[in-house]
Amino acid sequence: MYQQEEEWITTWFNSPYYQVLYKNHDVEQAYAFIDKLIAHLNTKLTYQLLEMGCGTGEHAAYLNQKGFTVTGLDFSEANIAFAKQFENQQLHFYQHDMRDIFRTAYYDLILNLFTSFGYFDSETENVVALRSTVSAIKPGGKLVIDFLNTNQAIQHTTGSEEKTIDDVLFQISRKVEKGFIVKTITVTDQGQQHTFYEKVRALTYDQFMKYFRMTSLRLVNIFGSYNLEPYHPETSERMIFILKK
């Protein structure tokens, strides 16, 4: 296992406030995206699916409800503890660092959705994480990486917002710093204030292409939105890479 140099990952992802802040995300949009993706990939019920960076497990559980056999992996012990309530014979969750290998040539399709990549401080670790992920894919299997479109996201990183959820005040600001998009989250709960950080490397299309060449992945398609619209470098909200091993 790696030394936990990324303290913010452990601190924030295991914080109860992480689940509070993101519990109201657009579930219907997420499920509609997953439906479109599964249909586009012609995903068969016989496939073994893995969600890498599954969070609290709702999306893996949704896939399981549609009849798929799914494994969910996440770095956060708190997320996995929550996700385990959904487990059954065809759905399992494990706490896992994506830089470490988890099974070899086992999965037909691996999903890495909603910007669950690029958290590590060095590019080398991102490549290690990708290589470990690819090792779990069967020859001819596919990997989907859904990442924010950095070109478009950087244009909207300035400014701040406030929101109150369950009587907890979240003050959120964003900035670009040393190649990362950094989110500072100040939480006020019952008069107590806590500060957390969330950061993701501002990976460009070209950087991803370099990563894919280093890991023997072939780009099959790239979409620019959750509706699977064509990707436009300057205006698309997402970079959704469809890759084949």
Of 23-37, 59-73, 92-106, 152-166, give the lowest mean pLDDT range. 152-166
pLDDT at 9 over 50: yes
DSSP bridge partners of 188: 169, 193
Q: Are 152 and 236 in contact (CB under 8 A)?
A: yes
Asked if residue 162 and residue 76 are part of one domain, the reply reads: no
80's tokens: 């996995």
Scan for tokens 């509706």, then name that residue.
227
Asked if residue 170 and residue 144 are part of one domain, the reply reads: no
The pLDDT assigned to 121 comes to 83
Q: DSSP for 158-227, please give it.
A: SSEEEEEETTEEEEEEEEEETTEEEEEEEEEETTEEEEEEEEEE---HHHHHHHHHHTT-EEEEEESSTT
The pLDDT assigned to 6 comes to 55
The pLDDT assigned to 3 comes to 43
Please report whether residue 1 resides in a domain: no
Asked if residue 64 and residue 175 are part of one domain, the reply reads: no
Asked if residue 223 and residue 187 are part of one domain, the reply reads: no
pLDDT at 84 over 90: yes
* Domains held by the chain: number: 2
Asked if residue 220 and residue 120 are part of one domain, the reply reads: yes
pLDDT at 73 over 50: yes
Look up the pTM and report it: 0.90
Model confidence at 18, pLDDT cuts 50, 70, 90, reads confident
What range does the domain containing 35 cover? 7-149+202-244
Q: What is the pLDDT of residues 85-140, one digit of tens each?
A: 999 999 999 999 999 999 999 999 999 999 999 988 888 999 999 999 999 999 99
Q: Are 9 and 121 in contact (CB under 8 A)?
A: no
Asked if residue 30 and residue 48 are part of one domain, the reply reads: yes
Asked if residue 211 and residue 224 are part of one domain, the reply reads: yes
Mean pLDDT of the chain: 92
